[in-house]
Amino acid sequence: MSDRHTAIQEIVASHRTERGALLSILEAVQRSSDHNYLSKEELVLVAKELEVPLSTVYSVATFYAFFNLKAQGEHVITVCRGTACHTRGSKPLLTQVLKQLNLQLDEEGTATTDDVRFTVHTVACFGQCALAPVIAIDSVIHSRVTEQKLSQMLQSLLEGKEVS
Amino acid sequence: MDEQMISCTIDGKTITVERGTRILDACERAGIKIPTLCYLKDVSSHGSCGVCVVEVEGAKRLVRSCMHTVMPGMVIHTHNQRVLHARKLNLELVLANHPLLCTTCERNLNCELQALSQQLGVRTSRFPRTKKKFEEVDVTSASLIRDPNACILCNRCVEVCASMQSVSAIQMVGRGLKTKVATFYDQGLGNSVCTNCGQCSLVCPTAAITEKSQAQQVFDALADPSLVVLVQTAPAIRVGLGEAMGLGEGSLVTGQMVSSLRALGFDKVFDTQFTADLTIMEEAYELMHRLTHQGQLPMITSCSPGWIKFIETFYPEQVGHLSSCKSPQQMFGAIAKTFYAEQAHLDPRKIRVVSIMPCTAKKFEAGRSEMDSSFAYWKEKLNLSEVERFADVDWALTTRELAKMLKQVGIDFAGLEASDFDDPLGASTGGAVIFASSGGVMEAALRTAVEKLTGTVLQDVEFASLRERKGIREAALKIGESTVKVAVANTLSNARVLLDQIKAGTSPYTFIEVMTCPDGCLGGGGQPIPTNADIRAKRAESIYEEDRSKPIRKSHENPAIQDLYARFLDQPLSPMSHHLLHTTYTKRVVYPLD
Ligand code: SF4
Ligand code: SF4
Ligand code: SF4
Ligand code: FES
Ligand code: FES
């Protein structure tokens, strides 16, 4: 049995009798994963250990937005594509990020670099329209982002420095 | 007044109903049939569509009559402007994301969504489509096709798969506009724990789940003069096909069914009931053998392919309890392409066996790789190579597919003269007829086994306790000094109960019959839509009527079966029987880890 299997067994055992056990288990499994996501194999293991149908586990994992089914980069860059941000040029910013990281968005609107260092997402609106265009990097909101500013931030991240 | 009774006012009429009555049932008693879409009586109540709304005085919002029960003194309006407007609106919201391709749709003229739009006078949807993506159609299953684009998210299939069958191959996944019914990781039904039972296709109000049709292959074979095309009909077809052809619920149409198949162009019209009698012979002898040789007990029947995949998947350690007998469909294919081929001097490679089944899982069963005993039989004799491999059964059509074929060629079904099955694979007894009903295989097996075990003639052939309309039935029989307990289960959730007893070592039974579908094959997933509890009861009545009308009611007394043993198989459980009529099982997994 792999280490991960043993770890999942322990997580399942510790939540098994709780109400809403599946949800807490999936949260714990994702939290303890390397790239903040639930792999297919992990979902199978959870279903098996908790003795629930695979389809049920998949249903829960796809219902809650905070579960990721794909590996998440060390740094998560979220570009707002809401109306306010759009009119203030969020499209070119998005294009710039993708180009600089050599990525293409999938149909879910996300993409992750092969080395799992960066994930790029879009959102419909951050609710910070007055500060448009808005980009979040690792949950920190950056307002009135310009191409130049964005380029600097990405460069720092690429060099392994903090973004100011 | 009785504590349990409450009164309410519906459209000005005062009516009294039992506490706990759903509003829509109360309305029905007041003479108003409330339209529904997601709700299905006895099956599913999801409350998502809002088509069933009524106005309740004092309530701010309209009330979904399928979800709420009547309260004392409730004043209900079922069809004022506000109600009618809201129903239309809710239906239009459903239609906004629907393909509306009725003319070319599988369910055209047999669709609840279409019928409801007609009933509510909805001609167009005022709402734009909100779903962006075209969803991929799932064709991975041997039995079913799922088209999520036609799905209205009523949840009926999910409910049936989970509650009735305890399988949960499918679930609602995703959220918001991306919500859809899917298997784990969208891997498709064919790569899931799905048992192919087709109960989901029976309850689906639209064309989102349909059988994988093989009608065209059959039309092509019928048109090919070099082929001899044989057809076999399962017991349950004779009480189902009539409905699909516009006759009354449960109407018994054996003779017209035979004539209609002849009119379609089949070379011979044979009966799966012939091999149902054969199954009883093999199975009764297998049971007796297990009883006298300390074999594994309880023995469990093996004629329902959904059940077979279920036990292989969820209880693989228990497959040893399964009878090794093939199902009647598969025994037929094996006998038709060996014994009959020899009798009729036919090249087995030129024979096509088509079965008409009440079942979608029969397609999967016919396609199982081990179901080619007739090829193995001929391989050496004719020096055949692997590329010439043929299956015992070529295509398995549902009752619904046959009805469509008959309509396509324009056969006037109701006006057909009745006719008889062809010889020799057409003769059957009452024991074979009742295979269509839950409890029937058990009853037929007992008619033979009890007689053989006790050595005395069984006078009363009807086992009343096996005919009770329950999910699990039992009977205790005195055989010589000992009492033998038997049980019958229909639906897989009920089968699970009996399997768990075996697992726990508490099963008191010697012999168990399991049927995948509610009330047995007559309620099969390939039967006409609608199929519900009332309709199933009528079909069952017709089946027992057909049994009573048969001059011979015990399988071992079927002269054609006796002849088959005398000329070909030798005796039950003989080497030839083992070779052609028995099978082995596959262990499967619920949680695949690569
Ligand atoms: S599912 Fe029903 S409403 Fe939809 S296209 Fe088919 S027949 Fe028409
Ligand atoms: S065919 Fe039966 S087991 Fe398969 S998804 Fe439908 S209801 Fe579930
Ligand atoms: S597939 Fe059919 S039964 Fe299942 S949710 Fe969709 S419309 Fe309802
Ligand atoms: S549109 Fe970007 S924050 Fe609102
Ligand atoms: S039928 Fe009542 S909400 Fe759908």
Omega of the bond prior to B298 within 30 degrees of 0, cis?
yes
Q: Is A19 left (phi over 0), alpha (psi -120 to 50) or beta?
A: beta
Closest Cα to atom 3, ligand 5: which residue? B47
Q: What is the pLDDT of residues B538-561, one digit of tens each?
A: 999 999 999 999 999 999 999 999
Whether residue B159 is predicted with pLDDT greater than 90 in this model: the reply is yes
- The residue type found at B175 is R
- The residue type found at B295 is G
B346 with B383: CB under 8 angstroms? Answer: no
Round to whole Å and give the CA distance between B140 and B144.
8
Omega of the bond prior to B348 within 30 degrees of 0, cis?
no
**Best of B147, B156, B189, B491 for a ligand 2 pocket test (most atoms within 8 Å of beta carbon):** B189
Closest Cα to atom 3, ligand 1: which residue? B114
Are the beta carbons of A59 and B183 separated by less than 8 Å? no
Give me the residues of chain A with pLDDT under 70, please.
164
Q: Given this model, what pLDDT does residue A164 score?
A: 63
From the list B75, B340, B159, B109, the residue with the least C-alpha distance to B232 is B340
Q: Given this model, what pLDDT does residue B90 score?
A: 97
Q: Given this model, what pLDDT does residue B482 score?
A: 85
Please state the rounded mean pLDDT for residues B280-303.
96
Round to whole Å and give the CA distance between B111 and B91.
14
From the list B212, B182, B213, B245, the residue with the least C-alpha distance to B403 is B245
**So what's the ipTM on this one?**
0.95
Query: What domains appear along chain B, each with residue ranges and CATH number?
Result: 5-96 (3.10.20.740), 131-211 (3.30.70.20), 215-581 (3.40.50.1780)
Closest ligand 4 atom to the C-alpha of A133? Answer: 2
Round to whole Å and give the CA distance between A14 and B126.
51
Please state the rounded mean pLDDT for residues B98-126.
96
From the list A79, A76, A61, A156, the residue with the least C-alpha distance to A113 is A76
B429 with B550: CB under 8 angstroms? Answer: yes
Q: Is the dihedral of CA A25, A31, A34, A38 positive or negative?
A: positive
Whether residue B62 is predicted with pLDDT greater than 60 in this model: the reply is yes
Q: Is the dihedral of CA B316, B320, B322, B327 positive or negative?
A: positive
Round to whole Å and give the CA distance between A138 and B448.
75
Are the beta carbons of B591 and A65 separated by less than 8 Å? no
SS3 B500: helix
Q: Given this model, what pLDDT does residue A109 score?
A: 85
Whether residue B1 is predicted with pLDDT greater than 60 in this model: the reply is no
SS3 B369: coil
Who among A45, A48, A62 is closest to B173 (CB)? A62
d(CA A38, nearest CA chain B) in Å: 12
Q: Of B2-16, B28-42, B318-332, B518-532, which gets the smallest average pLDDT?
A: B2-16
Of all residues in chain A, the one with the smallest CA distance to B170 is A55
Q: Given this model, what pLDDT does residue B480 score?
A: 80
Of all residues in chain B, the one with the smallest CA distance to A49 is B591
Q: Given this model, what pLDDT does residue A107 score?
A: 82
Closest Cα to atom 8, ligand 3: which residue? B154
What is the pTM for the complete model shown?
Answer: 0.95
Q: Residue B340, class by beta-carbon neighbours within 10 Å (0-12 exposed, 13-18 middle, 19+ buried)?
A: buried
**How distant, in Å, are the alpha carbons of B6, B25, B27 from that of B3?**
8, 19, 21
Residues of B annotated as catalytic are 283, 286, 303, 323, 362, 365, 370, 521
Strands, DSSP E only, in B36-110? 53-56, 63-64, 75-77
Neighbours of B260 (CB within 10 A): 24
Q: What is the pLDDT of residues A61-92, one digit of tens each?
A: 999 989 999 999 999 999 999 999 999 999 99
Round to whole Å and give the CA distance between B67 and B63.
8
Instruction: Give the closest ligand to the alpha carbon of residue B49.
Output: 5
Q: Is A53 on the interface with B (CB under 8 A)?
A: yes
Strands, DSSP E only, in B297-384? 299-300, 351-357
Are the beta carbons of B182 and A58 separated by less than 8 Å? yes
DSSP state of B386: G
Ligand 2 mean position to B166 CA, how many Å? Answer: 10
Please state the rounded mean pLDDT for residues B289-294.
94
**Which residues, in sequence order, are CB contacts of B216 under 8 Å at separation 6+?**
none
Instruction: Give the closest ligand to the alpha carbon of residue B363.
Output: 2
Please state the rounded mean pLDDT for residues B370-381.
97
Q: How many CA atoms lie within 13 A of B158 on its CB side?
A: 22
Q: What is the pLDDT of residues B24-50, one digit of tens each?
A: 999 999 999 999 999 999 999 999 999
Q: Given this model, what pLDDT does residue A72 score?
A: 95
Q: Is A107 on the interface with B (CB under 8 A)?
A: yes
At B180, which helix (H) or strand (E)?
A: strand B180-182
Q: In what order do the strands lie in the sheet with B75-77?
A: B13-18, B5-10, B75-77, B53-56, B63-64
From the list B214, B245, B489, the residue with the least C-alpha distance to B357 is B214
DSSP state of B568: I
Round to whole Å and give the CA distance between B399 and B240.
7
Query: What domains appear along chain A, each with residue ranges and CATH number?
Result: 3-63 (no CATH), 75-158 (3.40.30.10)
Q: What is the pLDDT of residues B576-589, one digit of tens each?
A: 999 999 999 999 99
Q: Given this model, what pLDDT does residue B2 score?
A: 65
State both tokens at B526: 């390939």
- To the nearest 10°, the Cα dihedral for B201, B204, B210, B211? 10
Query: How many residues does the structure list for chain B?
Result: 594
B165 lines ligand 2 (CB under 6 A): yes
Ligand 3 mean position to B530 CA, how many Å? Answer: 15
Largest CA distance in chain B: 83
- The residue type found at B392 is D
